[in-house]
Chains A and B, each alone.
Chain A
Amino acid sequence: MNSFQQSKQSRRTLLLLTIIIFIVAASDFFSGGFVRASIRDAVGIVNGGVFQMVSAVSASRPLSSRKALVEENKKLESELRTILSYKIQNEIIKAENNALRALVNLHEDSNSGKTVRIASSLKSSPFSTFIISAGSDAGIATGDYAVIEGGLVIGIVSEVGARTSLVQLLTAPSEKTDVIINGAIVEMTGRGTGNALSEIPREIGVSEGDLVFLKGGKFIAGVVGRVESTPANALKRVNINIPTNIQSKEFVIIFPGIL
């Protein structure tokens, strides 16, 4: 077979495979995401295995010397003592909090979160989304909140498969979310890379460092950054940031959506 024939054949292969891929894409679209759910489940299982392997290797530390291990042990004991003291303080604050709640007749929310592993790299996602390793089998539903430490909501579950789900970040470009800034309900628009923007009336007092709550008031959606206001404009631009590096997170807690 000469190079011209080879070229013609490879062109035919490319055309055929392009058509097949677009047929599969169309079938996925019209079946409501059957293909993507299967692919996410497969990647979730593979990534779960990879994370467990990395954790096991780093936990076993085969190259560590005895001296290094003894030093690490001492360090961990010291950290444990510190954490225990925090725990005691925490218990005291919790008791005080319960007493205050009882005073104002607030009832405790019975909904508890599910801790799930992030099954995809946030770095590699071009659309500000990530996959979690729990789906409808674990009771996850569309509209649930993905929360990290400190009650900070980072995203909302947008698609649910049997064993995996897709979470869309609140700061995804053009993603709109209702939030509360200093008691006023306003719309927050995502700008990507952990930033969002909100335009609020000038009479609402807001300053850098104020907390932004998700509508419903239970979770934090971000922290106010720079506030831009000009006398010519009735609205002021409030930049909202997520005060943590989301990419370093391995787990999120999923709470049922309340809206």
Chain B
Amino acid sequence: MTEKTTEGAKILVVDDDPDMRDAIGMMLEPAGFQVIMAKDGEEALLKLAAERPNLMLLDLLMPRKDGFAVLKELHEEEKWRAYDSMPIVVLSSVREEPARRRYHLETAVQFAADDYVEKPVSPTALLQRVKAALAKTSTARQK
């Protein structure tokens, strides 16, 4: 059932480290996902509009526009309303709790990620979390 709902899903991987993007691609592509990449927050928003991915895998600390700013813009700006149902999985080496606290302090809104995966990451664990996030939203949409 999970395989069926997530197969062929398009995933936007946002990370400033090219090797990390590459390795994540190697983990996701064999599982049948279509992977697109962005090297920072600005590129991520461009790709988001152009590619309409089913899920975004988002790093937090990046140059130019970081992951916090991406989450903030998606939350605040009207033009991104169509993406409200798109699951966002944060993949960062920043510990989850301080990241959530910092975001809450800076924006006064709750951190809107669907899941939070701390680096280092293993393929098995990452695939499991990505599939779970996709399954949750597709179930929600069916309701």
The answer to whether A binds B is no
Chain A residues near B (Cβ < 8 Å): none
Chain B residues near A (Cβ < 8 Å): none
